[in-house]
């Protein structure tokens, strides 16, 4: 049961269309936009043209109902959009451009055709927004929940690709946008779900939290900022996207690059609405920004020579620097005390901030 259920909507059983009818129904409105897409949906395999001066990037993510999403508070259209944008974010995190996706779904018969349509309307919206072609997938049945697997194909010149492993001592550590909002959006949705479950007559009260809800339900891949980096002639020495939380990604970069990373509390970018909402929910905003996850911002390191090019752009915040491995990973709080960043994440409550 969903908090957002539209009681008036039609319910067409998937068996009325059959598997092939369903595939045709959900894919027929997708039109390819990229010249590299030679054959999309409709044959035994998709055909994609590879430019000889570029490398191809491939990434897959699987989303499972009850593990990665909860349909009682995630509208299917948003889920479709998010499934695509988080995959594109992985290609952005390599400083590369995404061109095609395949989408595979496993659905139980509790989903009517209209639910699959909703899911695909979100997938299509993301394809339009990011100029991506849907070139294939697979459709199968599931005995329980909904499973979505998206594979994305991208491209980049070899010298433009940023790996997790390239951070160098004295690099600046940069993060895009702001952090913590998506986590707070999730807390709001969970709160409303609990209220709804104890009193299904009550309509969810999501008012006034548009930003954090949008960050949770409809995250955007930072494609535009990868383009900005290209225009500024910056290739990050290392890069990752913030899916699990800033501290977790800092640990990935430092481990893969065999360096240490120091970041500063007073530099962490947090939107003022995130600040206010965290206080309202009795949460520490720094905790949300460090450990929250699902912000899908980009975290990267650059050589100091690029400092002037980025310092005035509000989309990029320098939050720290890369050190020798022996210094470890550290979080410097406002009182200038240093706290090691651990795999458990960094807890400002435990650390008395």
Interface residue list for Mg ion (CB under 5 A): 138
| Dihedral class, residue 215 (left if φ above 0, else alpha if ψ from -120 to 50, else beta) | alpha
Q: With CB cut-offs between 5 and 8 Å by kind, which of Mg ion, ligand ADP, none does residue 66 bind?
A: none
Q: Which is nearer to Mg ion, 22 or 290 (CB)?
A: 22
Instruction: Determine if 121 is a binding residue for ligand ADP (CB under 6 A).
Output: no
User: Which residue stretch of 1-9, 137-145, 208-216, 236-244 sits at the interface with ligand ADP (rule: CB under 6 A)?
Assistant: 137-145
Q: Which is nearer to ligand ADP, 136 or 180 (CB)?
A: 136
Q: Which of residues 139-178 bind ligand ADP (CB under 6 A)?
A: 139
Q: With CB cut-offs between 5 and 8 Å by kind, which of Mg ion, ligand ADP, none does residue 103 bind?
A: ligand ADP
Instruction: Determine if 80 is a binding residue for ligand ADP (CB under 6 A).
Output: no
Residues in the chain: 353
Q: Render 115-174 in DSSP notation, one character per residue.
A: HHHHHHHHHHHHHHHHT-EEEEEEEEE-SSS-EEEEEEEEEE-GGGPPPGGG--TTPEEE
Query: What pairs with residue 151 in β-bridges?
Result: 60, 102
Instruction: DSSP letter for 198, please.
Output: H
Looking only at the bridges linking them, the beta strands covering 330-332 and 260-264 are parallel
Q: With CB cut-offs between 5 and 8 Å by kind, which of Mg ion, ligand ADP, none does residue 293 bind?
A: none
Q: C-beta of 185: minimal distance to ligand ADP in Å?
A: 28
Instruction: Determine if 31 is a binding residue for ligand ADP (CB under 6 A).
Output: no
- What distance in Å separates the CA atoms of residue 315 and residue 199, rounded to the nearest whole number? 42
Q: C-beta of 42: minimal distance to Mg ion in Å?
A: 12
Instruction: Determine if 136 is a binding residue for ligand ADP (CB under 6 A).
Output: yes
- What distance in Å separates the CA atoms of residue 10 and residue 283, rounded to the nearest whole number? 41
Which residue's C-beta sits nearest to ligand ADP? 136
- What distance in Å separates the CA atoms of residue 195 and residue 192, rounded to the nearest whole number? 5
Residues lying near ligand ADP in the complex (CB under 6 A) are found at: 23, 27, 41-44, 103-105, 134, 136-139
């Amino acid at each position: 049961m969903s908090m957002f259920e539209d009681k008036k909507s039609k319910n067409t059983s998937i068996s009325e269309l059959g598997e092939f009818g369903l595939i045709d129904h959900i894919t027929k409105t997708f039109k390819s936009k990229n010249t590299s897409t030679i054959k999309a949906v409709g044959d035994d395999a998709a055909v994609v043209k590879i430019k000889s001066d570029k490398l191809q990037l491939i990434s897959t993510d699987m989303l499972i109902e009850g593990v990665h999403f909860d349909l009682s508070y995630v509208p299917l259209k948003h889920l479709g959009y998010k499934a695509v944008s988080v995959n594109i974010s992985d290609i952005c995190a390599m400083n590369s451009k995404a061109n095609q996706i395949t989408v595979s779904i496993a659905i139980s018969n509790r989903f009517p055709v209209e639910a699959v349509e909703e899911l695909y309307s979100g997938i299509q919206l993301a394809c339009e927004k990011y100029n991506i072609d849907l070139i294939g997938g697979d459709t199968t049945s599931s005995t329980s929940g909904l499973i979505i697997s998206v594979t994305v194909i991208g491209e980049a010149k070899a010298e433009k690709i940023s790996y997790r492993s390239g951070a160098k001592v004295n690099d600046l550590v940069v993060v895009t946008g702001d952090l913590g909002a998506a986590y707070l959006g999730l807390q709001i949705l969970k709160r409303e779900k609990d209220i709804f479950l104890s009193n299904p007559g009550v309509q969810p009260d999501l008012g006034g939290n548009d930003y954090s809800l949008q960050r949770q339900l409809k995250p955007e891949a930072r494609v535009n900022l990868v383009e900005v980096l290209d225009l500024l002639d910056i290739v990050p020495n290392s890069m990752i996207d913030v899916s699990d939380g800033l501290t977790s990604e800092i640990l990935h970069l430092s481990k893969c690059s065999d360096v240490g990373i120091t970041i500063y509390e007073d530099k962490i970018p947090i939107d003022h609405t995130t600040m206010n909402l965290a206080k309202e929910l009795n949460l520490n905003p720094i905790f949300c920004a460090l450990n929250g996850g699902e912000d899908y911002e980009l975290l990267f390191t650059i050589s100091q020579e690029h400092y002037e090019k980025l310092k005035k752009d509000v989309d990029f915040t320098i939050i720290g620097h890369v050190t020798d491995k022996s210094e470890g990973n550290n979080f410097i709080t406002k009182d200038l005390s240093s706290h090691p960043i651990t795999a458990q994440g960094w807890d400002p409550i435990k650390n008395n901030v």
